[in-house]
Amino acid sequence: MPLPVPLKFKDDVFFRDTITTGDQSLARVLLGGKSIVTIRERSVVTITESPGRSFISLESGKIGLAVAHERMAPGESVDVRTPNAVVGVRGTVIVAEVLPAAAAVVSNVYFLRGFGECFVIDQQTGRPIGAPVTLKPLEAFKVVGSTARIDPIPATQISQITAGLEGKGIQHKEAANQEQVKTQVAQATAAVLGALTGGAVVEVPVVPVPATPASAGKTTDVVVPNVPSCGTPDTPSCGAASTTVATTQLLFGVPSNITIDPNLAPFATALATASTPVVTIPAGTPALNIPGSAFQVETTSPVPANLERPLFQATNATLTIADNLLNVLGSLSSTSGLPVLSTDPTTITTGGDFVRIAPGGSMSVNSSLVSDTGGTLTVGGSLISVEGGGSLTSTGASPLIQLNNTNVNVSGELLRVGSDTAGAPSAAVNSGPGGLIGLREVSSGSGTLLNIRGGSTVTSIGPVLDVMAAELFPEGSVVQVSGGSTLRITGGPALRMTDSVMLTPALVQTDGKANIIVVGGTLLDLTRSELFLGALVRTPNSGQDSVTVALGSPAPFIRMVDSTLSVERPVPLVTFIPGP
């Protein structure tokens, strides 16, 4: 029997080669440019092929398999065979494992995406037992001996199912004279990942190593050496200071049009639960410097259409970003019930807007877009800027912006919508019951919090501003509306205060250029709070603004509990000030 040899990056796997992984090791195999097999530590796998069909025999351990249906020819398929089960797939993401057992072999096959046909086989003869069954996404085919059952996969179990299949920055060991092969492998892998549902391509730093003699022979047992996972990302094993090469990683639930800065790629998680962020910066990570934007949404069509996981989470980290944390040029839809970008507590400095939605860009979220607790955010522009021609929609029960005990310093506003540039298209923001801005235990002397301009429209079911245990002293109005823009609050209250103090010249300030303000519910809801106003709405007396209040029964116009509302002098709802 041939002696086993170490498996290196880009090595070919031949007919009936057996791949054995040791402790703390992981192997990823590209099959014909159409599927990717990820092999967990302490696993034994044999890969064979026949015309139109690939066979992956899992003797023990665990594998993850992703098959790109778009790249499969008619009639082609990939079969996964365990000692007592066979699974046929075409365009599917599954996890298969064979558990050690004294009495009977236990095989589990988990369908994370797509459909497949499964059946039990006789362990001695390999013949099928019974009729095949078709499994759907989030179903498990479990076989004990010769007895099978189908179980649903709860979302809470996905992290356990995919445990051990994540890439942790394992360095690639390669021969120095095979750059052409390396490029071909990278391109082929990228093509598979681009076609897969949930695929995304990122660049990962790796360390070049001296040339290793190639092994001769076509029939070998291949052993993956024990290579420890990378620890702190700036250590040599992670290659923070080394030359980068393009590699790929399968990121489940991540649209293909999201680009991740290479400095963040080592923190990306491939196989994960719906609650696992795409990128997680853990406590103790050295300060990171991003030369451009940390994340960018390109104008290409996303595959899949939705971001099913949080995009970014950082804990006790420090990041300096030259441009934006998130730059949206194309379309991004987040269906996760968790914040898209969350920090707790983290120091982030950006040269531009924290989140920028460019002209023509669009984004929809099901929770907060930005959430911070106890952090320091220093932003060269606005916290969220929706430029003319851009759109932002929030449908969740959480505010679009949620800041808790945050030290926030912005050159612009917390939320800027539209542009003052002549001829620029309008922007649109639509918010659900969670409202726009939520502040908890925040002390601020900043300027305007919400700026709507250039004929843009902001519609919110929930509050424009919801504050708790906060002290706010904005130098300008809370909301600025200009250039024929519209602020429409369909539910309300427009302003909710709990255990807070605010002093402001006006809740809303306009420029008188045919702006529209519509309040469809309670305007003020104060609980154990003090609000000192110059006016509710200030607009030039020569203006053409429209202010409409349409109270729904039995909603009051102003609700106060143990609170104080003070104005500079007796004023009506709208105060007309002299124009220029």
Closest CA to 574 of 551, 543, 552: 543
Confidence of residue 226 (pLDDT cuts 50, 70, 90): very low
Looking at residue 240, what is its pLDDT? 30
What burial class does residue 561 get, using C-beta atoms within 10 Å of its C-beta: 0-12 exposed, 13-18 middle, 19+ buried? exposed
Q: Is the pLDDT of residue 432 over 60?
A: yes
Looking at residue 353, what is its pLDDT? 97
Mean per-residue pLDDT for 204-215? 32
User: pLDDT (tens digit, 9 = 90+) per residue, 453-486?
Assistant: 999 999 999 999 999 999 888 878 999 999 999 9
Confidence of residue 405 (pLDDT cuts 50, 70, 90): very high
223 or 60, which is more confident: 60
Mean per-residue pLDDT for 283-291? 92
Q: Is the pLDDT of residue 514 over 70?
A: yes
Greatest mean pLDDT among 171-175, 273-277, 385-389 lies in 385-389
Question: Taking a C-beta distance cutoff of 8 angstroms, is the pair 95, 38 a contact?
Answer: no
Under 8 Å CB-to-CB from 532, ≥6 apart: which residues? 502, 503, 504, 566, 567
23 or 170, which is more confident: 23
Longest dimension (CA), the chain: 97
Mean per-residue pLDDT for 554-572? 81
Confidence of residue 87 (pLDDT cuts 50, 70, 90): very high
Question: Taking a C-beta distance cutoff of 8 angstroms, is the pair 126, 57 a contact?
Answer: no
pLDDT above 90 covers a percentage of the chain that reads 44
Looking at residue 267, what is its pLDDT? 86
Q: Is the pLDDT of residue 543 over 80?
A: no
For residues 481 and 517, give the distance between their C-alpha atoms in angstroms, rounded to a whole number: 9
The answer to whether the peptide bond before residue 554 is cis (omega within 30 degrees of 0) is yes
Mean pLDDT over each residue of the chain, to the nearest integer: 80
User: pLDDT (tens digit, 9 = 90+) per residue, 103-151?
Assistant: 788 999 999 888 889 999 998 888 889 888 998 888 999 999 889 999 9
Looking at residue 304, what is its pLDDT? 82
Q: Which domains does the chain have, with CATH numbers?
A: 5-171 (2.60.120.1440)
- The conformation of residue 276, written as its DSSP 8-state character, comes to S
| pTM > 0.85: yes or no | no
Closest CA to 264 of 320, 194, 339: 320
Tokens representing 287 are 């300060």
User: pLDDT (tens digit, 9 = 90+) per residue, 53-85?
Assistant: 778 899 999 998 887 766 667 777 788 999 999
Looking at residue 271, what is its pLDDT? 53
Q: Is the pLDDT of residue 539 over 50?
A: yes
Closest CA to 402 of 439, 365, 347, 358: 439
Looking at residue 340, what is its pLDDT? 97
Looking at residue 150, what is its pLDDT? 92
Q: How many CB atoms lie within 10 A of CB 202?
A: 23
User: pLDDT (tens digit, 9 = 90+) per residue, 320-350?
Assistant: 999 999 999 999 999 999 999 999 999 999 9
C-alpha dist (Å) from residue 379 to 31, 114, 310, 408, 576: 46, 42, 21, 8, 34
Q: Is the pLDDT of residue 511 over 90?
A: yes
Phi, psi of 123 (to 5 degrees): -65, -25
In 368-493 the beta strands, taken as DSSP E runs, fall at 370-373, 376-379, 384-386, 391-394, 401-404, 407-410, 415-417, 428-431, 437-440, 443-444, 450-452, 457-460, 465-468, 471-472, 479-481, 486-489
For residues 222 and 389, give the distance between their C-alpha atoms in angstroms, rounded to a whole number: 55
Q: Is the pLDDT of residue 434 over 90?
A: yes
Confidence of residue 308 (pLDDT cuts 50, 70, 90): confident
Mean per-residue pLDDT for 92-103? 82
Q: Which helix (H) or strand (E) holds 193?
A: helix 179-195
Q: Is the pLDDT of residue 152 over 70?
A: yes
74 or 213, which is more confident: 74
